[in-house]
Structure 1
Amino acid sequence: MDTIGTDGVAGQHSRGETARARRRKSYSLEEKQRLVAESCEPGASVSLVARRHDINANLLFTWRRQMRTPTSAASPLELVPVEVISSASAASPAAAAGAEQRGMIEIVLVGGVRVRVDAEVSEAALRRVLSALKAVA
Structure 2
Amino acid sequence: MSYSTLITGPERRRRWSEDQKEALLAQAFGPGGNVTETARRAEVHTSLLYRWRRATLAPAQGFAPAVLIGEADQPAPLPGPAIVVELPGGVQIQVMADAPADLVAATLRALR
TM class by shorter chain equals 0.3 to 0.5
Higher relative contact order (CA 8 A, sep 6+): 1
Structure with the higher helix share, 1 or 2: 1
TM-score (norm: length of structure 2): 0.43
TM-score (norm: length of structure 1): 0.36
